[in-house]
Amino acid sequence: MSKLSGAVAIVTGASRGIGFAIAQRFVAEGARVCITGRDTEALETAVKELGGADVAIGVPGKGDDADHRAAVVDAVRDAFGPVSILVNNVGINPAYGPLAGLDLGAARKMVDVNVLGTLGWVQEALRGGLDGGSIVNISSVSGVRPAPGIAFYGVTKAALIHLTEELAVELAPAVRVNAVAPAVVKTRFATALYEGREEKVAATYPLKRLGTPEDIAGAVAFLCSPDAAWITGQTLVVDGGLTLTGAVQ
């Protein structure tokens, strides 16, 4: 597999989970990657697992920190050259429950990290020379359909879908911009949605299992590859068929 040979990618929030699987897939397909996350040690371990400094670097920081974003793009350019792929994978959900009682501070943080953080990463990547490449934003099925209990998180993920469309128009033809919208994928982030009842939850999926990080990595790698050269502004739902049933979680 070398569909991404020569590519230079930033994958945000990639010390574990979906982001790490994306980084692994990118390296397997010939790209060099920069991964981010808040925990320095976890990043160092992940970089080793990816194959070390020849193919991967890690830069610690918070996704909603503008200085961190600028430092990442500069570090990537120094290590590997201009960015050609950006995967906006960082996303948070610090609040569960009805919108009527939602803490607005938590909502604002979600907008800062999930939406404005994503736009900030795009702006930085463009400053760093992203031209002729590809952006993928990690949305969620909760951004496609109502998802009671995680509603405002879904609002931010819906915003990412629209942001994807606007950016796709604005940045064409040089840069393609797409999104991926997963249902429940077995990571630390989603533990509360399936732990202790995985079989029961999986039974509601037409494909009878929950997602794995590799399921999402495959979709992202496709969207960044030459096979997707005529695809932009789209949101690829990767959900084991769940949304066909009317459910989102």
- Residue 18 is encoded by which pair of tokens? 């979906």
The distance of closest approach from Cβ of residue 199 to ligand NAP in the complex, given in angstroms and rounded to an integer, is: 17
The distance of closest approach from Cβ of residue 17 to ligand NAP in the complex, given in angstroms and rounded to an integer, is: 2
Q: Which residues are catalytic?
A: 153
Decide: is 39 part of the binding site for ligand NAP (CB under 6 A): yes
Q: Are 176 and 134 in contact (CB under 8 A)?
A: yes
Decide: is 36 part of the binding site for ligand NAP (CB under 6 A): yes
Contact region with ligand NAP (CB under 6 A), list: 12-20, 69-77, 79-87, 198-206: 12-20
Sign of CA dihedral 87, 88, 94, 96: negative
Sign of CA dihedral 224, 74, 14, 137: negative
- Residues 6+ positions from 231 with CB-CB distance below 8 Å: 176, 178, 223
The distance of closest approach from Cβ of residue 102 to ligand NAP in the complex, given in angstroms and rounded to an integer, is: 17
Residues 64 to 103 in contact with ligand NAP, rule: CB under 6 A: 89-92
> CA-CA distances (angstroms) from residue 143 to 79, 105, 112, 182, 192?
35, 20, 16, 10, 19
Decide: is 164 part of the binding site for ligand NAP (CB under 6 A): no
What does the binding site for ligand NAP look like in residue numbers (CB under 6 A)? 13-19, 36-39, 42, 62-63, 89-92, 113, 138, 140, 182, 184-185, 187-190
